[in-house]
Amino acid sequence: MTKNEMLNQKVCDKMQAELDEFIAELKTKSSSEIIEFAYELIYKEDILQSFDFDIRGNNPLTNEQAKALLSLKNPLDYLYQEWLECDSSVLDTLRLSNDFAIDKQIEYLKLRAERESECR
C-alpha cells in the first residue's frame, strides 16, 4: 500500500468513526431530537461518500489534503460546518434537476403527440 493510499484510508477511517459516533449519539435521543439532526446526518453521510474512497486505488486526496484533514479532531464535522457556510445550495441543484426532468417530459409529450397525429 502506498503512502497516499494509507493516508486516504486513515482519513476514511477517521471520518467513518466520527460518523458512527454521531449515529450512536443520535440513537440515544428522542425521535423529535433525531428529526432535528436529520439534515446533519444526511449531509455528513454525503460528505463522506463524496470522497469516493475505494480500496481499488481510487484515492481522491493528495497527501497534503489527507494530512490537513487528519490534523483536525473532527474532520467530518469541520467539512459539514464549512458546507453550511457555502454559498451554493442543494436547492439550486434540485431546481436544475427539476427543470431538466420537466423539459424531458415536455419533449416526450411532444413526440407522443406527433406520433399520434401521424397515425390518424
Decide: pTM greater than 0.85. Answer: no
Torsion sign over Cα 35, 76, 54, 10: negative
Helix 75-85 with 38-50: angle, nearest 10 deg: 110
**Residue 71 DSSP label:** T
Contact 52, 58 (CB under 8 A): yes
The predicted structure's pLDDT at residue 91: 78
Contact 23, 41 (CB under 8 A): yes
pLDDT along the chain (120 residues), means of 10: 90 96 97 96 93 71 94 96 82 86 94 89
Contact 65, 72 (CB under 8 A): no
